[in-house]
Structure 1
């Protein structure tokens, strides 16, 4: 189980390098990542959302998540699933992100 935790840490750290172009905070701190599942043989399933359903850069963000997570040692395959249920709200952001954006 130790290896899975280390891989999860790497995935979370990688997701902190992906930014919504309209907001200067990474997608992990914004609360856009709903779930990270690590399956057998390094298969990773990520369920995430966007700040708005009509986000013009949706494809770019999903592609960046896929490419960056796929590049992590120990990851064999990545499936990024986009959902809008539940819809994202500012309440899903970490306290640090809310402070950074002045939402406190």
Structure 2
């Protein structure tokens, strides 16, 4: 593997770091720790796909949050393209939150 080759696993970690800079406007915790990101896929062409959910189907940021995720991921050096898919299966619940998020919100 040459120095210019990007490891898809490394790229996946960069994507997660970028996702952790995106916050739900109503909850002071990033969307990764909130458990809104179900999966991040990176293929050999460095196309990425993010499977995510929202806290509720009528979430006030339902239009803007997926776009923000897509734009921020597309700005990562090495990412070719990004598609964000929203799903409500399974629906989001507080059980999906990380310990860190629960602690931040005083739930522990």
Shorter-chain TM-score above 0.5: yes
- Which range, TM-score by smaller chain? over 0.9
Q: Answer whether contact 2:50 2:83 (CA < 8 A) is retained.
A: yes
Residue 85 in structure 1 maps to residue 64 in structure 2: no
Task: Please say which structure displays the higher CA radius of gyration.
Answer: 2
Matches within 5 A, 1:44-83: 44-83=48-87
Instruction: Output the aligned Cα RMSD.
Output: 1.3
Q: What pairs with 1:1-104 in structure 2 (closer than 5 Å)?
A: 3-104=7-108
More helix by share: 1
Looking at structure 2, the residues matched to 32 and 12 of structure 1 have their Cα atoms a distance apart, in angstroms, of 12
Hey, which bits of structure 1, 4+ residues long, moved more than 3 A?
none
- CA distance in 1: counterparts of 2:29 and 2:41, whole angstroms: 23
TM-score (norm 1): 0.96
* Unpaired segments ≥5 residues, structure 2: none
Q: Structure 1: which 5+ residue stretches go unaligned?
A: none
CA distance in 2, matches of 1:47, 1:103: 26
